[in-house]
Amino acid sequence: MPEHPYDVRTDAKTHRSLFERLTALISPEPENRAELLEVLHDAHERNLIDADALSMIEGVFQVSDLSARDIMVPRSQMDVIDISKPIEEWMPQVLETAHSRFPAIEGERDKVIGILLAKDLLRYYAEETFDVRDMLRPAIFIPESKRLNVLLRDFRANHNHMAIVVDEYSGVAGLITIEDVLEQIVGDIEDEYDFDEEEDNILSIKEGQFGARWRIKALTEISQFNEELGTSLPEDDVDTIGGLVASHLGRMPHKGDVFDVANLRFEVLRADARQVHVLLVEKLPLPEDEHD
- Shared domain for 110 and 139, answered yes or no, is yes
pLDDT tens per residue across span 34-47: 788 788 888 888 88
Torsion of CA 16, 18, 23, 26, to 10 degrees: -170
Q: Where a domain ends, among 155, 186, 217?
A: 186
Q: Where a domain ends, among 128, 153, 186?
A: 186
- Shared domain for 140 and 215, answered yes or no, is no
CA torsion sign for 108, 109, 114, 116 is positive
The confidence score (pLDDT) of residue 47 equals 84
Q: Is 5 within the bounds of a domain?
A: no
Q: Is 91 within the bounds of a domain?
A: yes
Q: pLDDT at residue 292 above 70?
A: no
Number of domains forming the structure of the chain: 2
- Shared domain for 172 and 226, answered yes or no, is no
- Shared domain for 105 and 172, answered yes or no, is yes
Q: pLDDT at residue 2 above 70?
A: no
Q: Is 4 within the bounds of a domain?
A: no
Domain, as residue range, for 115: 69-186
25 confidence band (pLDDT: 50, 70, 90): very low
Distances (CA, A) of 287 to 95, 209, 212, 284: 33, 16, 17, 9
Q: Is 195 within the bounds of a domain?
A: no
- Shared domain for 92 and 170, answered yes or no, is yes
93 confidence band (pLDDT: 50, 70, 90): confident
Beta-strand ranges (E) seen in the chain are: 73-74, 81-82, 101-106, 108-117, 141-143, 162-166, 172-177, 202-205, 213-217, 258-261, 264-271, 276-283
The confidence score (pLDDT) of residue 193 equals 47
How is 91-105 classified by DSSP, letter by letter? HHHHHHH--SEEEEE
- What is the CATH classification number for the domain harbouring 241? 3.30.465.10
Q: Where a domain ends, among 186, 219, 248?
A: 186
Give mean pLDDT, residues 109-116.
92
pLDDT tens per residue across span 50-88: 877 877 787 788 788 889 988 888 888 889 999 999 988
206 confidence band (pLDDT: 50, 70, 90): low
- Shared domain for 75 and 177, answered yes or no, is yes
Q: Is 212 within the bounds of a domain?
A: yes
Least-confidence region, from 15-29, 90-104, 158-172, 213-227 = 15-29
Give mean pLDDT, residues 250-254.
83
- What is the CATH classification number for the domain harbouring 116? 3.10.580.10
- Shared domain for 147 and 231, answered yes or no, is no
- Spell out the residues 6+ positions from residue 174 whose beta carbon is closer than 8 angstroms to its own: 68, 69, 72, 73, 74, 75, 77, 78, 164, 165, 256
